[in-house]
Structure 1
Amino acid sequence: MRELTGAELDLSGLIKKSETVMWGNACAEPLTLTEALVEQRKNLDNVNVFMASAFSNTFSPEHAEDLTFISTGGVGTAGVLTKIGACDVIPCHVSQVAGYIEMGKIPCDVVFVQVSPPNERGEYSLGVTSDFIYTAVKKARIVIAEINSQTPRTICSQPLTADDIDYCIYSDRPVVEMQPAPVTEIDRKISAFCQPFIPEKATLQVGIGGVPEALMADLSSHRGLGIHSGMISDSVVDLVKSGAVTNEHKEIDPGITITGALIGTKKLYDFADNNPDLRMVPASVTHDIRVLSQLSNFVSMNSALEVDITGQVNAEGIGAKYFGSVGGQVDYVRAAGLSPGGVSLIALRSSAKGGAVSKIVSQLSGPVTTPRSDVGIIVTEFGAADLRGLPLSRRVKAMISIAPPEHREKLEREAYDLLKLRA
């Protein structure tokens, strides 16, 4: 491992023509390295950038003149780029990303990693993400590490050593943060309709947004909950401190909160630092249906852009605009369906644009992310539609019952015309 100063970091001498650079998901972006990539982009030759979700302000649309962006979705920074056509999207499940990297389907030539200073065994913690990055490190031609003293030293199932790193720089700067989403009255109503489906001792998977924030706050009186989730936010800290999360009833990793990404603020990072009750693991653990289905009472909570009246879910985009992702939704929905006592919840506001547009629709205006054959329960502020085992005619009735009241008559007409079913 060769140590470099900022002045010595010449990426044009490290990244070859047409190579692909990638780094960790979400808040794991090594800012000193990515800022150097932006600053030096004019000296690079047709370089590709692979980012999953990202929440910094490092990249802007004008950078697409020199860098080619690729992502697995339109979340955060990638969303800004996808909306203007500056970022191409690979529609795939989170569980597939590491395999695609290993196969070479997603190129991985140069990897940036943000790690903590080494522990007494010489191990570098991957900090706030562990999903596909270890696979990328093993596959890459060159690995450049930013050893950031403010990166939490999380317990990783796959830490790095000096042998994994070719070049390193040192930094002391705050890790990228994601503030909790504000919770509205509608979010609280949706959360209330989710509550009956979440038993004591359940193991939870949750995402980010107002509804998950409301739900996690509402679960503080539960007991014996566990966490096995692709990501966690600050709300998990509160659930642990309230006594709701103990992880004691999980069949896998009892007593341990399992996650692949920390998406939150310093509150979460401080909680995770050297915490023996929290473990960062790759997507092969957080998203593999063969692992997840072994957990009893596994409750999956995800969101959608729109859902049609038969239960098909679109979580990716509207028309030509791609600003969501496949993510881990299908992985988790299917796993929850196989879990003894498990259930998948897809929660969304019933309308958009001040109520003018219903998000419960007769026909999707974007791709089918989760097929209706996998869907469990759809929840809006008007109720919960349990679609498990329902024939199409009853699905239509259930879905229209949770649509905005002012749109229901139109949906009933469209249901009859499209499906020849009396809604």
Structure 2
Amino acid sequence: MQTIALDQLDLARLVRPGDGVIFQQGCGEALNLSEKFVAQRAAYSGASVFFGSGFSRSFALEHADHLRFSGIGGIGTLRKLASSGALDPIPCHISAIEGLLRQRIIRADVLMLQVSEPNERGEYSWGLVNDYVRTALQQARVVIAEVNRQMPWVPCERPLLAHEISVAVPTDRAPLELPAAPFGELERRIAHNIGDLIGDRATLQMGIGSVPEAIMGMLADRRELGIHSGMVGDSAMRLMQCGAVTNAHKGIDAGVTVSGVLFGTHSLYRFAHRNPQIRLCPTSYTHHISTLSRLKNFVSINSALEVDLTGQINAEAIGGDTIGAVGGQVDTIRGAAASEGGVSIVALPASGKQGDSKIVSRLSGPVTTARSDVDVVATEHGVAHLRGRSLRQRIRALIAIAPPEHRERLRAEARQQWGENL
């Protein structure tokens, strides 16, 4: 391992034109490295970057003059890149990414990390993100690690060792934060509608957004909950602190909250530092059906951009505007179906910002989750149970939770396609 000061780092000596480059996603992004990477981009013109989620301002449209961008979708600040066409989305399940890296379908010639300082055994924590990065490391020619003094040492499935790092860059910079999304009465109504589906000893998977935050906010009175999720934020920390989450009855990983990433504030990062009740694991564990099927009472809660009247879910794009991603939705929905006592919920507001219905007769974007996988759909107007229901039963149930002012139109459109018997 070579140590180089940040102001002396010449990435042109390490990155080649045409290389595939991976950064840790979201709050784990190595900000000093990403800023230097785009500043020096002309030296390795044609290099490509693969993204998960993004919350920084490091990458912009003008950087496409020398760089190529791909990723799982337009999550966070990547939406502008995706919707402009500068970022080419790769439709894939989170559980598939490690395999795509091993097959070099997604290339990882250079890996850019932000890690903790080593512990007393010389082990570096992956910091806030340990999803598919070890698999990327195994493929990489060069591993550049920003060793950040302010990065917490978060327990992980397998720490990073010095001999696995090509170049270490010491830094002292606060990592990115993702404050909890604000929520109001609308989100509380959605959360209230699904409250009965989340009982004591449930094992939770939650995503990002105001609806998941509202749901997590109402669970403080539950007992002996567990968490097994692709990501956790401050709301999970609060449930652990108040005693609602004990992880005692998950069926696996007793006493430990398992996640792939931490997306939150410095309060969460301080809480996670050397905390044996938290473990960051790769996507091959957090999202694989062989793991999820062993969980007890696994409750998967995901969101959607729109749902059609037969139960098909679009969580990716509206027309040409790429907003989300396939992500882990299908992985966790199928995992909940395989879990003893499991249930999967797709929760969304019934109306868009312009008053349009998000329950639609035809999707305006791709099918992210097939109707055959969907279990429960919830809006502020109620809950539609779809598992095992016929098409006509589904249509009636989904119209009942659509905005009242759109129900007659949806019923008329359904009759045109499915007949008068609705």
On whether the aligned pair clears a TM of 0.5, the verdict is: yes
Kindly indicate whether the alpha-carbon contact (under 8 Å) linking 1:52 and 1:78 is maintained by their aligned counterparts in 2: no
How do 1:137-152 and structure 2 match up within 5 A? 137-152=137-152
Q: What letter corresponds to residue 203 of structure 1 in structure 2?
A: T
Q: Cα deviation per residue 1:332-369 (whole Å; 9 max; x = unaligned)? A: 000101111110000001111342x1100001010100
How do 1:20-419 and structure 2 match up within 5 A? 20-355=20-355, 357-419=356-418
Q: What letter corresponds to residue 403 of structure 1 in structure 2?
A: A
Q: Distance in 2 between matches of 1:217 and 1:99?
A: 36
Q: Distance in 2 between matches of 1:68 and 1:390?
A: 45
Kindly indicate whether the alpha-carbon contact (under 8 Å) linking 2:17 and 2:43 is maintained by their aligned counterparts in 1: no
Q: Cα deviation per residue 1:46-93 (whole Å; 9 max; x = unaligned)? A: 111111101111111111112111111110122120011110010000
Kindly indicate whether the alpha-carbon contact (under 8 Å) linking 1:387 and 1:395 is maintained by their aligned counterparts in 2: yes
| TM, length-normalised to structure 1 | 0.98
Kindly indicate whether the alpha-carbon contact (under 8 Å) linking 1:393 and 1:421 is maintained by their aligned counterparts in 2: no
Q: Cα deviation per residue 1:214-245 (whole Å; 9 max; x = unaligned)? A: 11110000001000000001001111111110
Kindly indicate whether the alpha-carbon contact (under 8 Å) linking 1:304 and 1:347 is maintained by their aligned counterparts in 2: yes
Unaligned runs of 5+ in 2: none
Q: How far is 1:419 from its partner? A: 2.2
Q: Distance in 1 between matches of 2:339 and 2:150?
A: 38
Kindly indicate whether the alpha-carbon contact (under 8 Å) linking 1:116 and 1:126 is maintained by their aligned counterparts in 2: yes
Q: Cα deviation per residue 1:276-313 (whole Å; 9 max; x = unaligned)? A: 11101000111001110111110000000000011000
Structure 1 stretches of 4+ moved >4 Å: none
Q: How far is 1:8 from its partner? A: 2.2
Q: What letter corresponds to residue 194 of structure 1 in structure 2?
A: I
Q: How far is 1:399 from its partner? A: 0.2
Q: Distance in 1 between matches of 2:65 and 2:420?
A: 51
Q: Distance in 1 between matches of 2:296 and 2:256?
A: 16
Q: Distance in 2 between matches of 1:102 and 1:44?
A: 24
Q: Distance in 1 between matches of 2:156 and 2:241?
A: 22
| C-alpha spacing 1:256/1:421, structure 2 compared with 1 (3 Å) | farther
Unaligned runs of 5+ in 1: none
Taking only aligned residues, the RMSD between alpha carbons, in angstroms, comes to 0.9
Q: How far is 1:379 from its partner? A: 0.3
Kindly indicate whether the alpha-carbon contact (under 8 Å) linking 1:230 and 1:261 is maintained by their aligned counterparts in 2: yes
Q: Distance in 2 between matches of 1:244 and 1:422?
A: 46
Of stretches 303-312 and 410-419 in structure 1, the one that deviates more from structure 2 is 410-419
Kindly indicate whether the alpha-carbon contact (under 8 Å) linking 2:6 and 2:171 is maintained by their aligned counterparts in 1: no
Q: How far is 1:138 from its partner? A: 1.1
Of stretches 206-215 and 40-49 in structure 1, the one that deviates more from structure 2 is 40-49
| C-alpha spacing 1:421/1:272, structure 2 compared with 1 (3 Å) | farther
Q: How far is 1:141 from its partner? A: 0.6
Q: Distance in 2 between matches of 1:101 and 1:345?
A: 30
Kindly indicate whether the alpha-carbon contact (under 8 Å) linking 2:237 and 2:271 is maintained by their aligned counterparts in 1: yes
Kindly indicate whether the alpha-carbon contact (under 8 Å) linking 1:24 and 1:129 is maintained by their aligned counterparts in 2: yes
Q: Distance in 1 between matches of 2:9 and 2:405?
A: 59
Q: What letter corresponds to residue 380 of structure 2 in structure 1?
A: E
Q: Distance in 2 between matches of 1:262 and 1:142?
A: 25
Kindly indicate whether the alpha-carbon contact (under 8 Å) linking 2:147 and 2:170 is maintained by their aligned counterparts in 1: yes
Q: What letter corresponds to residue 228 of structure 2 in structure 1?
A: H
Q: What letter corresponds to residue 238 of structure 2 in structure 1?
A: D
Kindly indicate whether the alpha-carbon contact (under 8 Å) linking 1:311 and 1:375 is maintained by their aligned counterparts in 2: yes
Secondary structure at the aligned position of 2:26 is classed as coil
Q: How far is 1:322 from its partner? A: 1.2
Kindly indicate whether the alpha-carbon contact (under 8 Å) linking 2:304 and 2:315 is maintained by their aligned counterparts in 1: yes
Q: How far is 1:375 from its partner? A: 0.3
Match of 1:13 in 2: 13
Q: Distance in 1 between matches of 2:421 and 2:179?
A: 45
Q: How far is 1:421 from its partner? A: 5.3
How many pairs align?
422
Kindly indicate whether the alpha-carbon contact (under 8 Å) linking 1:81 and 1:87 is maintained by their aligned counterparts in 2: yes
Q: Cα deviation per residue 1:5-36 (whole Å; 9 max; x = unaligned)? A: 12321111111111111111211100111010
Q: Distance in 1 between matches of 2:148 and 2:128?
A: 12
Q: What letter corresponds to residue 371 of structure 2 in structure 1?
A: R
Secondary structure at the aligned position of 2:219 is classed as helix
Q: Percent identity?
A: 50
Q: How far is 1:418 from its partner? A: 1.6
Kindly indicate whether the alpha-carbon contact (under 8 Å) linking 1:415 and 1:422 is maintained by their aligned counterparts in 2: no
| TM, length-normalised to structure 2 | 0.99
Q: Cα deviation per residue 1:370-394 (whole Å; 9 max; x = unaligned)? A: 0010000000000000111111111
Secondary structure at the aligned position of 1:279 is classed as strand
Q: Distance in 1 between matches of 2:102 and 2:10?
A: 27
Q: Distance in 2 between matches of 1:410 and 1:353?
A: 19
Q: Distance in 1 between matches of 2:165 and 2:239?
A: 36
